[in-house]
Structure 1
């Protein structure tokens, strides 16, 4: 049982950094619910 078990996550990825789907893949087995995941361009 991890620290994220039962939590809800909002993931904001960056186009030139770590994209949202990559974070989502890493956190899918954490026990958290991924409510929103997106990749944006911050310039």
Structure 2
């Protein structure tokens, strides 16, 4: 069990950095529950 097991996360990804779906896949494999994930462009 990881430290994120059972935790709810809000993920903000960046278009030119790490996108939301990539973070979502990583954190879900750690046992976290993803409440919201999005990829935005911060200019």
Per the normalisation by structure 2, the TM-score is 0.91
Aligned length: 43
Deviation at 1:38, TM superposition (A): 0.1
Give how far 1:30 is off.
1.1
User: Distance between the aligned counterparts of 1:14 and 1:28, measured in 2?
Assistant: 18
Residue of structure 1 equivalent to 2:37:
37
Instruction: List per-residue Cα deviations over 1:8-40 (Å, max 9, x = no partner).
Output: 000100000000001111111211110000000
Q: Return the TM-score normalized by structure 1.
A: 0.91
Aligned residue in 2 for 1:6: 6
Structure 1 residues without counterparts, runs of 5 or longer: none
Q: Secondary structure at the match of 1:4?
A: coil
The structure where helix makes up a greater share of residues is 2
Post-superposition, which runs of at least 4 consecutive aligned residues in structure 1 deviate over 4 A? none
